[in-house]
Amino acid sequence: MSASNGAAKGERTLAKRSGDLSVFETISRWLPRRNPDADYWWDLTGPHMAAMFEEAGYSKERQYENLLIHYYWTVPYMGSAPAPDGSLKWNCILTGSGVSMVYSWKWNSSSPSSKPDIRIGFEPIGPHSGTALDPLNQLSTKEILHGFNERMPLSLDWTNHFLSTCFDPETKYWVANEKSGVPLATTVMLGHDYLHDGLTLKTYFFPRVAGERLLPWERWDASLRGALATHGENATSALDVLSEFLKTNPEGQALIPTGLALDNGTTSPTSRTDSRVKFYFRCPKTTFASVREIMTLGGRISTPHLEAQLGKLHSLLEEITGLPANYPDDADVPVYHGFGTGNSPLRRAAYYLYYFDIAPGAEVPDIKFYAALSHYGQNDRMSAEGTCRFMEREGRGVYVGNYVRMLERIAGERTLETGNGLQSYLAVLFRGDGELDVTSYFLSERC
């Protein structure tokens, strides 16, 4: 990535229409240029966001509103533009390119009226990120939460709880960095779910002990129970089931806790108003036998659709990895080594990801599975087409052409066949009606 290519990308990916300007062209005509950093990120990501909203069938009104939110509440917080050599002052470790934003496309269901939802996750970056004043890079996140709290209904009690219980005093991290060279890294992120009828805001936490890499389980457990306890005596039921699985099941014992996510609030009249508590784990095992054990919590979860859903997940994994149907369930998925053009941290270790929703009121967690396409996809074209074939078989293929066209618009001059890493993850959650919630994650730059 170079500092000179942002405007060019903006020009390449504009949706040209005869006799009419695109939403992005129209809104960019009247929005002021601000400074080299913000202008760079708008020129790069603005056309991407516009392409996603257009291809996902958003109304013109919602497209304009969402692009304005992006212009005012995301772009100014994306940090400095890259230096001439492509380096960034603050690298977000969650993306291969170091850029602080991840896009996602939540696929439509089989309902004729269903449309894809566009979402982003991003790490706000400020002028003092990584300095003694803001060593954990949390000031900009707090500023955005404050700004949104004045404009939409938010609940920040749990956010404040986890900020106060999952982190050591900031000075400890700075001292560990200065004296021992322990790197400062991502600790919080925000998520914007741009729904067709409103916006949902989320906060993500990636805590660790000062001078160390990860927060120990005991501290996670104490912090979670402290938050859930305010919701009644049965509020920890899902956490209790998860804890028992982590302690007693061999697959559970292999899981490593890495992060947490909360819903802060929504303007959507059709979205749930209670918060999920999504507890993220990394798993070094990639056999389907391991996936089955974790998605069922070792037999603790049993539903009428479970076996059929496991079969669908197996089929989807075959599509995106290119593995044969008779590939052994007890064998790890091979990592495809011909991918990537950058120094992505994803290239150093292969893994699957999971989250467990342990929100109050649930007897067992809802579980979401993530496969890293940066590891297991052969190239971006094959990964996209494999996902599209699955969606068509499931009677959900209305937007498959839009999805591929959207990826091509984001890729610009880079063809989908020539690399891998534009698409970063594919995620699956088992729904109560038997369908799979499928979400594709991708980046503004191929890692």
| Known binding positions | 93-94, 119, 202, 204, 276, 278, 280, 370
Q: Which residues are annotated as a binding site for L-tryptophan?
A: 93-94
Neighbours of 233 (CB within 10 A): 7
Distance between CA atoms of residues 218 and 87, nearest Å: 37
3-state SS track over the chain: CCCCCHHHHHHHCCCCECCECCHHHHHHHHCCCCCHHHHHHHHHHHHHHHHHHHHCCCCHHHHHHHHHHHHHHCHHHECCCCCCCCCCCCCCCCCCCCCCEEEEEECCCCCCCCCCEEEEEECCECCCECCCCECCCCHHHHHHHHHHHCCCCCCCHHHHHHHHHCCCCHHHHHHHHHHHCCCCCCCEEEEEEEECCEEEEEEEECCCCCCCCCCCHHHHHHHHHHHHHHHCCCCCHHHHHHHHHHHHCHHHHCCEEEEEEEEEEECCCCCCCCCCEEEEEEECCCCHHHHHHHHCCCCCCCCCCHHHHHHHHHHHHHHHHCCCCCCCCCCCCCCCCCCCCCCCHHHHCCCEEEEEECCCCCCCCEEEEEEEHHHHCCCHHHHHHHHHHHHHHCCCHHHHHHHHHHHHHHHCCCCHHHCCCCEEEEEEEECCCCCEEEEEEEECCCC
Phi-psi region of 409 (alpha: psi -120 to 50; beta: other; left: phi over 0): alpha
Distance between CA atoms of residues 152 and 156, nearest Å: 12
* Residue whose token pair is 């994994």: 317
Per-residue burial over 243-266, b if 16 or more Cβ lie within 10 Å, else e, is bebbeebebbebbebbbbbbbbbb
Closest CA relative to residue 212, chosen from 240, 247, 184, 233 = 184
SS3 191: strand
Q: Which residues are annotated as a binding site for dimethylallyl diphosphate?
A: 119, 202, 204, 276, 278, 280, 370
